Amino acid sequence: MAQFYLSAKQPNPGGELVYQCLLLGFGDVTAEDKKMGRKYTRAVRLLAPAPADGQPVDWAKAETIEDALEQHAAPDARWGPIPDALNTAKKLKALEKGFADFLAGLKVAVPANAALKMSCDSAESPDAFRARCQSIAWREFEKKLTAEKQTYEEEFKRYGVSVPADDPVDANAPWSERWQQFLRGSPVRRTTPSATLSAKQKAELENLENEWHGARANLAESCIRAAEQISEMTLTPKKADIKVVRFGLAWTPFWLLPGTADLRPAYR
C-alpha cells in the first residue's frame, strides 16, 4: 500500500512525536477554455480522516495541505494504529475510486474580465492578472483620451486656446494615484484666454472647460470600472483530464503533550 509521510513543522512543546494514520489524496484537475485555447490545472491536495469501515470519505470536508512530503518518518516516533477502513489494499482501491469521482465533480475557476475580454493566463497568479487588467485599462484610457482631445480641439480653437494640458503620469505610479487628476472631484483645468474675448465668450469657454473636465472623468470612470470587473469563469473538466497523482496512507505527525492524552498537530 502507498504510504506517505508529512513533515513535522511545529517545534516540540516538550512531548513525544506520534504518527497518526490519515488518508492522503493528491489530484490534478485540468479544464480548457476553448475560446482562448488555454488549459488550466487545479491542484487538489487533501488530507482526510479515515471513514468508518466500508463508508466513503467526505472529501468536501477534507483539509488542504501542501505538496511537500518527507521521504521517511522521523526517528524515535510512536505510531498510531491503521484504521480498519484503510487496512487492506482492496479497501484503499475503493476509496481511491471515490476520490477520483470527487475530482471529476470539481470545476476549475479562472479569473476573467468580460469588460476587457481577458482571461487569466494558465501560469498567471490572480494578483498578476489584476495588474495586467489595470495595465490594459490604462492604455485603453490613454487611447480614448487622445481621440477625445482631437474632438474637442476645434471647439477650443474657436476661443484661441488649446485643450488644457494634463500633468505627466508616471507609468509606475500606484493604480489609484494615476487617476487623481482625471476624476470628477479634481480641479477643473483652465486655459488662459486672450483679453480680446468678450465676457460672453469667456463664459462660453469656461463652460467648455467644465464640459471637457466631465468628458475626461467619464472616460476615467469607465476604464476604472472595466479594470475592476474581474469575476470567475467556471470551466468543466473532461473525465480524461482528471488525474490522481498520489493516494494512500498519510502518516501524520502530532505532538503528544506531556502528562496528557492530547495530540497537537505538528504538521501545520
Judge contact between 41 and 122, C-beta under 8 A: yes
Q: pLDDT band at residue 62, thresholds of 50, 70 and 90? A: very high
Percent of the chain with pLDDT strictly greater than 70: 100
Q: What is the CB-side half-sphere exposure of residue 230 using CA atoms within 13 A?
A: 18
76-88: average pLDDT? 96
pLDDT of residue 96: 98
Q: What is the mean pLDDT of the chain?
A: 95
Report d(CA 139, CA 184) in Å as an integer.
Answer: 20
Judge contact between 118 and 76, C-beta under 8 A: no
Report d(CA 245, CA 227) in Å as an integer.
Answer: 37
- The model's pLDDT over 227-247, given as tens digits with 9 standing for 90+, comes to 999 999 999 999 999 999 999
65-74: average pLDDT? 95
pLDDT of residue 122: 84
Q: pLDDT band at residue 259, thresholds of 50, 70 and 90? A: confident
pLDDT of residue 172: 86
Report d(CA 258, CA 205) in Å as an integer.
Answer: 84
pLDDT of residue 139: 96
Q: pLDDT band at residue 114, thresholds of 50, 70 and 90? A: very high
Q: Which residues of 112-150 are buried (b: 16+ CB within 10 A; e: fewer)?
A: bbebbebbbeeeeeeeebbebbbebbbebbeebbeebbe
Residue 221 has pLDDT above 90, yes or no: yes
Report d(CA 215, CA 155) in Å as an integer.
Answer: 14
Residue 35 has pLDDT above 90, yes or no: no
pLDDT of residue 8: 96
- The model's pLDDT over 38-56, given as tens digits with 9 standing for 90+, comes to 999 999 999 999 999 999 9
Gyration radius of the chain over CA positions: 31
pLDDT of residue 25: 98
Report d(CA 225, CA 227) in Å as an integer.
Answer: 5
Domains of the chain by residue range: 3-107+237-265, 118-231
Residue 91 has pLDDT above 90, yes or no: yes
